[in-house]
A and B are shown apart, each in its own frame.
Chain A
C-alpha cells in the first residue's frame, strides 16, 4: 500500500503545488476499476429501470395525445379520474380473482408435486423434467397452443366428448374464461415452484421424520408438524414471487381472451395497456401503472411482515 494523504488541506488545493505526484495513484486506479465493473449494470438499471420509473411518475401528471403530439401538464387530474373510473372496480376484482386463484392453485399443486416427486421411486427424474419443461417454453407459443385446445371445437372438448361430457365454450363463458387463463398459467409455471419446493424438502433432516415415526406420528401429522414449518421460508419466497408475477399477467390475457368476455378477464396490466396503447390515454395509463406499483409494494411489505408469524427456521 502506498501512503497517499487523501486529507489534503485547503492550502494544498491552491495554485502552489507540492512535489509532483502521478495522477494515477493505486487508490484511484482501484476506484476506477470498481466503477468500471459496476458501470454496465448501473447503466442498464439507470436506462431501463430507474429512468422509466421516474418518467412514469412524470407522465402520470400529463395528458399525452400521441396522435396530435400534445403533452400538457394536468396536475392530479389523472389521479382524480382514477377514483371516478367506472371500470376500475371490475378490473381490480378480475385482478384479485386471478391472483388468488393462481397463488392457491400454483402453490398447492407445486407442493403436491414436490412431495410426490421427492420419493425415491423409479421414473421420478422423468416426471420432474416433464413438469419443469413448460417453464422453458416460450410463453406466447404456450398460450397460443392452449388457445386452440380451449376452442369450442378444440382438443379439450374433443377429449371430454369421448367420455360423453359436453364441454363448455371455455374462453367465452364469464367464469370458465378466468378459470382457463389461470389454469394455463399454473401449468406454465408450476414447475419452477415445484423445483424450489423440492430443494427445500431435500433440506429437511431425515432424522426428524425418524424421531416422529418412533413417537407414533402419522404421515399427515409429520407433514404439517415437520415439513411445512421447515420449508416455510421457501413457501414465503414462492408466494411472493407468485403474487408479484400474477399481478403482471399480460400475454396470456392478450392472446386468449383480450380481456373478455365482457370485462371478466380485464386485469390491471391489460387495462393499462388498453388505456395507453389502444385508447391513446398515455397519461392515464401511467397513472394506472403507479397504482399497480403501489399494490405490488403493499402486498410485498405485508407478506414480509407476516413472515414473523408463520415462517419458522429463518436463518
Chain B
C-alpha cells in the first residue's frame, strides 16, 4: 500500500506539470492594458517604420493599448504560418490576409464584423470606400476584412538593359500604340538574347505560383474558373491560346526564363517584370534606370489585374474590439493617405494622381494614373475560391507537365480541369 502513495505523489506532480504546460499563456493577459499583435507579410523596413509610427500615435491617445506589434511572416508560407498559429492557440489579434485565402477566412466565422466599428469611427468617411474593393471581403452583407491594399499589376522595365539591346522601350511602344504582349515578348526575347540575362519575369510565379499568370491570360479573356466558381476555365479556347503563347515564349523565343532558373528584376537580373506597384520599394535609388508601365494589351485589348490584401480582426482575440478600433485608426482618411505610398487605398477620394503623387516620390503622375488608378477602377482581381489551398495545389500539380519543352498544351489543360472540376463542384 505505502509504495503506491509515493507513486501517487509523482503522478500528481506529473499531472500538474502537464496541466500547466497545456494551458500556459493566454488567460492572464485579459486584464490591464492590451497588447495587440498583427501579422504582416512584409519585412520591408520602410513599411514597418510607417506602421510603427501610426501605432505609436494611436497609443498616445489610447492608454488601454500598451503595445502594438507588427509581426512579419515570410511571404512564401504566409497563410500556412498564420493558420498554424491559429491552430496552435497563438492567433494574432489582427492579420493581413491575401485575396487567395479571403473566401476561406471570410466564410469561416472566425472574423469580427467590422462595419459598425468603422462606420462609427470619428471622421472615417466609410462611404468613401469603393464598393468594388469590398466585394471579396463581405459575407451576408457584413464586412469581415478591410481591403487594405488594392494593388494593380504593372510592368517594371529596366530601360538601361532594353536600350543597350537596341530594342524599343515599352514607353516608345505605348506612344506608338504598339504595347501588346506580342511586342513585349519580342522585346524581352531579344533583350535576353543580347544581354545573356533574363527577359521578362512574372514575379512570384516561378512555375508554382500559377495564380500570378492571371496577369497574362486575362489579356486573352481567359479565367481560371467561371464567375460563380463552379466551372473550370483552364481548357477554354482562350486559355489554350494564352498558354500556348506563354509556352512558346518560354521554350522557343526564351523571352521568359525557364523553370528552375532564378532571376530577380530588382537585382538587375531581368529586363522586365510583372508585379504589383507595392514592390516599387525594392528599387534602389542608385540602381539602373527604370520605368513602370501598364500590362501590355492582349488579343482582347487592354486590361488590368489587381491583387488584394485585407486586414481582418480575429473574433476570438481577447482584445478584438480594441483591435478593430486600431484598424479604424490605421485606415482613417489621414493614415490611409500616408499608407498610399505603398498600399493603394480603397478610398475613392484618394485615388487621384495628385493625392497619390504626394506620397509616391518614385512614380510619375502619368504612371500613377495609368497603372494605379485605371488599374483599380477596371482591374480583375486575381483568382480566389473557397478551399483555395487544395485547389491551388491541384492546379499546380496539373500544370507541371506544361513546363516541358514538348508539352501538349491542350491535353495538359484538359488534365487540370479533370483534377479540379470535382473540387469546384463541391
Contact = CB atoms under 8 A, between A and B. Distances in A.
Contacts of A185: none
B99 to A, nearest CB: 16
Nearest to B316: A69
Contact of B390 (A51, A66, A67, A279): A279
Interface in A147-182: 150-154, 169-173
Nearest to B398: A262
Contact of A42 (B14, B110, B262, B316): B14
Contacts of A259: 393, 397
Contact of A278 (B10, B389, B401): B389
A289 B400 CA distance: 27
A26 B9 CA distance: 17
Given A261-B401, A282-B87, A35 B108 contact: no
A274 interface: yes
A169 B250 CA distance: 14
B260 A31 contact: no
A86 B356 CA distance: 51
The listed residue with most A CB atoms (<10 A of its CB), out of B13, B87, B262, is B87
A258 B396 CA distance: 10
A315 interface: no
B400 A261 contact: yes
A39 B260 contact: no
Interface string B240-275: 000000000000000000111110000000000000
A46 to B, nearest CB: 7
Given A13-B1, A47-B21, A66 B87 contact: yes
A258 B76 CA distance: 12
Interface residues of A, number: 42
Contacts of A154: 260
B399 to A, nearest CB: 9
A262 B6 contact: no
Nearest to A147: B260
A27 B3 CA distance: 9
A260 B397 contact: yes
A172 B83 contact: no
A260 B396 CA distance: 8
B14 A46 contact: yes
A250 to B, nearest CB: 14
A258 B208 contact: yes
Given A43-B17, A260-B397, A67 B80 contact: no
B2 A43 contact: no
Contacts, number: 98
B403 A261 contact: yes
B109 interface: yes
A67 B258 contact: no
A73 interface: no
Interface string A50-91: 010000000000000111110000000000000000000000
A152 B207 CA distance: 13
A256 to B, nearest CB: 11
A43 B261 contact: no
Contacts of B258: 152, 169
B6 A28 contact: yes
Interface string B1-35: 11100110010011001100100000000000000
Contacts of A6: 2-3
Contacts of A171: 260
A32 interface: yes
Contact of B110 (A8, A67, A170): A67
Interface string A245-282: 00000000000001111110010000000100111101
A274 B393 contact: yes
A4 B14 CA distance: 28
B interface secondary structure, majority: helix
B104 interface: yes
Interface string A6-28: 10100001000000000000011
A69 to B, nearest CB: 6
A58 to B, nearest CB: 14
A10 to B, nearest CB: 10
Contacts of A170: 260
Contacts of B260: 150-154, 169-172
Interface string B78-111: 0010011011000000000000000011001110
B259 A279 contact: no
A169 B405 CA distance: 11
B110 A69 contact: yes
A151 B262 contact: yes
A6 B2 CA distance: 8
B403 to A, nearest CB: 6
A123 B220 CA distance: 65
A43 B18 CA distance: 8
Interface string B43-84: 000000000000000000000000000000000000010011
A151 B262 CA distance: 9
A260 B260 CA distance: 12
Given A69-B110, A169-B258, A51 B401 contact: no
B261 A153 contact: yes
Contacts of B298: none
Contacts of A279: 387, 389-390, 393
Contact of A68 (B6, B108, B400): B108
B3 A65 contact: no
A313 to B, nearest CB: 42
A261 B14 CA distance: 47
Contacts of A42: 14
A150 B261 CA distance: 10
B84 A277 contact: yes
Contacts of A152: 258-261
Given A47-B18, A68-B108, A69-B316, A35 B6 contact: yes
A115 B246 CA distance: 53
B417 to A, nearest CB: 15
Contact of A51 (B10, B18, B403, B404): B18
Given A39-B10, A277-B80, A46 B400 contact: no
Nearest to A264: B400
Interface of A: 6, 8, 13, 27-28, 31-32, 35, 39, 42-43, 46-47, 51, 65-69, 150-154, 169-173, 258-263, 266, 274, 277-280, 282
5 contacts: A43-B14, A43-B17, A152-B261, A259-B397, A260-B396
Given A46-B14, A260-B396, A282-B87, 5 more contacts: A6-B3, A39-B10, A69-B109, A153-B260, A172-B403
Interface of B: 1-3, 6-7, 10, 13-14, 17-18, 21, 80, 83-84, 86-87, 104-105, 108-110, 207-208, 258-262, 316, 387, 389-390, 393, 396-398, 400-401, 403-404
